[in-house]
Amino acid sequence: MSIEIYIIIPMYNTGGFINECITSIKSKFISLEIIVIDDGSED
C-alpha cells in the first residue's frame, strides 16, 4: 500500500522563498504532489 501525500502551499508575495520551500519539502518525502497557489501576488 502506497501513501499519497499532497501538499498545498498558498503563496502571496513570497517569490523569493518558493524554491527554498519546495526544496525543503521534497527532502522530507519520497513521493508527493505539491500544489502552489498564487493569489494575485505582485512578484
Please give the grid coordinates belonging to residue 12. Answer: 502571496
| Residue 42: per-residue pLDDT | 84
Signed CA dihedral, 18, 19, 22, 24: sign only: negative
| Residue 39: per-residue pLDDT | 81
| Residue 1: per-residue pLDDT | 62
Task: Report which DSSP code applies to 31.
Answer: S
Rg of the chain over all Cα atoms, to the nearest angstrom: 12
| Residue 36: per-residue pLDDT | 93
Q: Where are the domains of the chain?
A: 6-38
Please give the grid coordinates belonging to residue 38. Answer: 498564487
Task: Tell me whether residue 42 is exposed, middle or buried, using C-beta atoms within 10 angstroms of its C-beta: 0 to 12, 13 to 18, 19 or more.
Answer: exposed
* SS3 at position 37: strand
| Residue 25: per-residue pLDDT | 93
pLDDT tens figures, 3-43: 789 999 999 998 889 999 999 999 998 889 999 998 888 87
| Residue 7: per-residue pLDDT | 96
